[in-house]
Each structure stands twice: as structure tokens, then as C-alpha cells.
Amino acid sequence: MSIPANHPRRESLLIREKLVEGYKRNIVALEGLIAHGRGECFDYLLGEKTHGFALKAIRAAVAHLLLAKHPVISVNGNTAALVPREIVELAEVTGAKLEVNLFYRTREREEAIAKHLMEHGAREVLGVGDDASATIPELFSERRRVSPRGILIADVVFVPLEDGDRTEALRKMGKTVIAVDLNPLSRTARMASVTIVDNIVRAVPLMIKEAIQLKSMNRDKLEEIVRNYDNNRVLQEALETILERLRELSSSQLILQPY
Ligand code: PTJ
């Protein structure tokens, strides 16, 4: 569908188109479209922009990735459809491995996502087919199947757009979990070690920029960033921002005047 250049909601509609296209190419699960709708709602409440609390989380997340011995970026359908080039670039800059990990796992989707990432510059994608031969304990969804060269041995796992169960299971295994989730109330947001409350389309490009900057910092400085980070505070700030925004909006003129 062609979206008029002057449509007031053009950006948002273009993002939807990417997901629909991803669905048609077997990359995005049908349920992924619903998940996006939930995200859109929270993005609306946040004013569709990156806030200071997200920037703090991005800094800590990148510091974790750069300090990690085995950093892994876990890719699902929505992530692959929305930010394929960026996620590959983030893996390059931080030295992380890319692994496909799906809630609605099918062999066709695993392969379609890996191919899509390869087309966007990935050199290797773990977690496809027999490579996902290891199991995350106490996890019963298809997400339990992971690569023994990837998520199984990872010390830091980046899980954009996740479901809470796996975040919890990965934390129990002693791993640091970084999530991107527009919903600060989700189980993922509350279980993760670092939660970036922002739209993935804005957050990942900012993570790349931050990684390029932080790469020249010594380990002591990176460790200091990680030590001073407080995820609970970040989630509180996200909720306060939503509250404040709703308070402001509810006391202002809401009806758009036709011209
Ligand atoms: O590709 P699969 O099979 O692994 O499935 C992926 C989905 C996303 C369908 C699956 O993980 C799922 O059902 O996730 P949930 O439990 O619906 O959680 C998705 C979370 O991502 C929700 O809290 C949304 O608010 C949030 N979200 C959706 N779109 C975005 C987002 N957060 C950041 N940026 C977005 N664009």
C-alpha cells in the first residue's frame, strides 16, 4: 500500500507495513502483529520519543555488551522485520553473536529470519535447526531451545521484544538480560537486568552510536556505568513520564481544530 508523503501518521504506518511485509515473508508471526499493537499503544503514551530513562538504560546495556565474554543478541520475528541491518551492525560493533530464538518456532521461520539477517550483512546466525540443541532449564515454551555456542554459554543476552518467562529463566541461570520493551509494566521489563523502555526502531540505532563511543573507554569506566545503573529507578521514571504526560494532556485542549 502506498502511504501519502504528508500523512500525519506516516512513520507509524510505515513501521506497520514492514511488519506486514515480514509476516508475508514468514519472518513475523501473526501474533507479532498483535504484539506490535500493544507496543504502539505504549509508544503513544510516551509521546513516540526516546526519553532520558531510555538513554540511561541504553548506556548501561551497551556497557554490559562490551564487558561481556560471550554477548549474544537473540533475534525474533518482529526484531528481524523492523531493524535487520541495525541489529547486524550492533552485533558487529559489540562483538556479539546473533541467534534466532522464537516463541512461535517453526523451521521455516527460523530459516527465513536467518536468511533475512544474512541478506543484511550477518556473517553467522546461530539457533537454526539442529544448532538449537541445548535447553534452558525450567522453560517450557519453544524459546527453551538454544544454541550451545550462543545463548547457552552467554553471560549477557540482549532479548529485544521478549516474553517474561525466558527473561526470568535466563536470569535464574545467572545471565545478564537486556530487554527493549515499550511496556514498563510487562514481566520482561520487570525481570530484565536492564530495560530499555523505547521503540526498538529508535533504540537499536542509538545503541550502535553509544557502542561506537563507549568502545574507546577502559573497562573500569564501563564497570562504573554498570555499577551505577538502577533498573528499578528507570522503570519508575518511565511510569512517572507516562503519568506526567497524561496529566498534562488531560488538562489541555485535546480537540484538533479543522483548518
Ligand atoms: O517471533 P516470535 O515467534 O519469537 O514472537 C515474537 C512475539 C513478539 C510475538 C512474542 O515474543 C510475544 O508474544 O511477545 P509479547 O509477550 O506480546 O511481548 C512483546 C512486548 O513487546 C510487549 O510488551 C510490547 O509492548 C512490546 N513491543 C511491541 N512492539 C514494540 C515493543 N517494544 C519495543 N518496540 C516495539 N516496536
| Cβ atoms of 61 and 207 closer than 8 Å | yes
Please tell me if the CB atom of residue 81 comes closer than 6 angstroms to any atom of ligand 1. no
Question: Looking at the domain assignment, is residue 10 inside a domain?
Answer: no
Question: Do 27 and 109 contact (CB within 8 A), yes or no?
Answer: yes
Prediction ipTM score: 0.98
Query: Does the residue 18 lie in any domain?
Result: no
167 assigned to some structural domain: yes
What's the distance, CA 13 to chain centroid? Answer: 20
- Rounded to whole angstroms, the Cα distance separating 161 from 165 reads 12
Give the number of domains in the chain.
Answer: 1
Q: Is residue 180 in a domain?
A: yes
In a domain, 144, yes or no: yes
Ligand 1 and 168: CB distance under 6 A = no
Residue 72 domain flag: yes
Residues 6+ apart with CB under 8 A from 187: 163, 164, 165, 167, 168
Residue 250 lies in a domain: no
Q: What is the CATH number of the domain that holds 224?
A: 3.40.50.12640
**Among 28, 78, 105, 146, which residue has the most ligand 1 atoms within 8 Å of its CB, making it the best to mutate?**
78
Task: Read off the DSSP letter of residue 143.
Answer: G
The answer to whether position 117 is within a domain reads: yes
Contacting residues for 251 by C-beta, under 8 A, at least 6 apart: none
First to last CA, the chain: 27
- Atom 31, ligand 1: residue with shortest CA distance: 39
- Tell me the CA–centroid distance for residue 32 and ligand 1, in Å: 6
User: Tens-of-pLDDT digits for all 259 residues of the chain?
Assistant: 677 787 777 888 889 999 999 999 999 999 999 999 999 999 999 999 999 999 999 999 999 999 999 999 999 999 999 999 999 999 999 999 999 999 999 999 999 999 999 999 999 999 999 999 999 988 888 889 999 999 999 999 999 998 788 999 999 999 999 999 999 999 999 999 999 999 999 999 999 999 999 999 999 999 999 999 999 999 999 999 999 999 998 888 777 777 6
Range of 150's domain?
52-238
Angle at 52 between CA 247 and CA 58, to 5 degrees: 135
